[in-house]
A and B are shown apart, each in its own frame.
Chain A
Amino acid sequence: MKKINIIVAAMAVSSGAFAASEDLNAAFQKMMDTSFKTTGIADKSRMKQTDFQRICSAEKEPSKKAMESIEATQLKTIRYPADGKYFGDWKTGEKIATSGKGLTWTDKTPFDNGGGCYNCHQLSHKEIAYGTIGPTLQDYGKTRGNADDVVKYTWGKIYNAKAFNACSNMPRNGDAEILTEEQMKHLMAFLFDPESPVNKK
């Protein structure tokens, strides 16, 4: 009898905690819904999360199973170049890597964006103003070679980083239409071309 009482009491406590977290979630949804407005190209709908954004918004990393499920879904979004050509011009690629502009509410159009690569990555031997949120990509082609699997993986990583690491900090440049296929080809050349300052001192 005593045991039952304890169980009932424990249930009441846990359902109380559950109700509190439900309340908090409802309050949070309301707050996010009423705190933002559309300005320029930055529509209010941007505050709505996709499934993986929601799963990757916890303080703790999601379970391995949840991550694998996201990665499998995201992998399917990757479109490889229809003409089979992966490389553009590294000099144009360098400009795209350097520009961090695009997609803010002060930008006029959503179609003219930079890659913002230097915000987070070291690339060229000559550029010292690089961020450190992502790994260094210096000597990318030189150290990895240009075998088909490396080239294809790199394209995929630029196109949709979440296919390889569910909650990666890196944007989905291709999938979210931040960069065009042509721009990504230029970035590929910047990473792999032996003449590019990424690989040549």
Chain B
Amino acid sequence: MRQKKLYVLLAALVAGVGGLSSTAALADESADAIARYREMIADGNPSELVAAQGEELWKTQRGPKNANLEKCDLGLGAGVVKGASAQMPRYFKDTGKVQDLETRLMTCMQTLQGIDPKEFVNGKWNKGEMEKMEALVAYIVTESNGQKINVDLSQPQMKKMYELGKKAFYYRSGPMDFACTTCHGEEGKRIRLQDLPDLRTQSGAAAGWGTWPAYRVSSGEFWTMQHRLNDCYRQQRTAEPIYGSDVTIALSVYLAATAKGGTVLTPGLKR
């Protein structure tokens, strides 16, 4: 009798799983297609072209002061690019600020080359000076590929930015009441077919932070981390974060610190 009950239960379970699997299989199929496409172009991530332009730009004398960026200190000493972005954001004594890669590059371009930070703060993605910023970022983050994410929270300024970033991560606002947590605060969720990393966890944050900046196949553009965060806020329906503003740095510190120990896979390749 008891066994019969068990059979019925099992049969119901199998039927349920069968019903599920047909849709799940379809969803998996399209996820697979994306994975296959990724493999196909993995050998030739279009970011390489952007990075090559960036490397050229790093060495090119330009701006009102007609200088290159080879004296730019990204935290590991003047001109050291290898591994630098894996340890950013970081606190810089000369500016007295915690800076991410892009705001640090803004400082270098201003002090060394005389390029006005407004070119970026008021700039447009993929246009003018911003396009050059993107190329430089592509070059620099490629030079950290394979390294471990390793931000240093021992500085009180960094610790404070981490705390501020964490608060920002949970901050709900705007007409849709969204926060970062709405999409990135639970394991195993997705929007449409897009898998969402749980950015509160080390593995989730590493999957997110470790693969941006990235080349976006859908738009055919290279996106910096500032651009990524900007579009997250756009989809949250908030007001627009100012390029390089404290909230973008704070969130970056929170994400990078949470991801600590994960592998840098930049530049990533995205849908």
A interface residues (Cβ-Cβ under 8 A, vs B): 24, 27-28, 31-32, 34-39, 42-49, 53-54, 56-59, 103-106, 118-120, 122, 128-133, 162, 169, 171-172, 176-178
Range, interface on chain B: 35 or more
Q: Which residue of B lies closest to A131 (CB)?
A: B191
Task: Judge whether B26 and A128 touch: CB under 8 Å.
Answer: yes
**B174 proximal to A (CB < 8 A):** yes
Contacts of B238 in A (CB 8 A): 36, 42, 46-47
Task: Judge whether A129 and B30 touch: CB under 8 Å.
Answer: yes
Q: Which residue of A lies closest to B195 (CB)?
A: A132
Q: What is the bound-complex CA distance between A126 and B186, given in angstroms? A: 26
Q: What is the bound-complex CA distance between A36 and B167, given in angstroms? A: 16
Task: Judge whether A118 and B192 touch: CB under 8 Å.
Answer: yes
**B163 proximal to A (CB < 8 A):** yes
- A49-B172, A131-B189, A169-B178 given; 7 more Cβ-contact pairs under 8 Å: A27-B164, A28-B167, A39-B240, A42-B240, A47-B239, A104-B237, A178-B175
Task: Judge whether B163 and A171 touch: CB under 8 Å.
Answer: no
- List, sorted by A's number, 8 A–B pairs whose CB atoms are closer than 8 Å: A28-B164, A36-B242, A42-B239, A45-B239, A46-B175, A104-B237, A162-B177, A171-B176
**B183 proximal to A (CB < 8 A):** yes
Q: What is the bound-complex CA distance between A26 and B184, given in angstroms? A: 26
0 or 1 for each of B236-270: is its CB under 8 Å from A? (1 = yes)? 01111110011110100000000000000000000
Q: How many A-B contacts at CB < 8 Å in the complex? A: 130
Contacting residue for B189 out of A37, A46, A129, A132, CB 8 A: A132
Contacts of B172 in A (CB 8 A): 49, 53-54, 56-57
Contacting residue for B239 out of A31, A36, A118, A162, CB 8 A: A36
Q: What is the bound-complex CA distance between A178 and B194, given in angstroms? A: 24
Q: Which residue of B lies closest to A31 (CB)?
A: B246
Task: Judge whether A105 and B176 touch: CB under 8 Å.
Answer: no
Task: Judge whether B176 and A103 touch: CB under 8 Å.
Answer: yes
Q: What is the bound-complex CA distance between A111 and B207, given in angstroms? A: 36
B interface residues (Cβ-Cβ under 8 A, vs A): 23, 26-27, 30, 160, 163-164, 166-168, 170-179, 182-183, 186, 188-194, 196, 234-235, 237-242, 245-248, 250
A133 to chain B minimum Cβ distance, whole angstroms, is: 5
Contacts of B194 in A (CB 8 A): 131
Contacts of B171 in A (CB 8 A): 32, 49, 57
Q: What is the bound-complex CA distance between A45 and B175, given in angstroms? A: 11
Contacts of A58 in B (CB 8 A): 170
B67 to chain A minimum Cβ distance, whole angstroms, is: 30
Using A106-B234, A130-B192, A171-B177 as known contacts, say yes or no to A38 and B160 having CB atoms under 8 A apart.
Answer: no
Q: What is the bound-complex CA distance between A37 and B241, given in angstroms? A: 6
Task: Judge whether B176 and A178 touch: CB under 8 Å.
Answer: yes
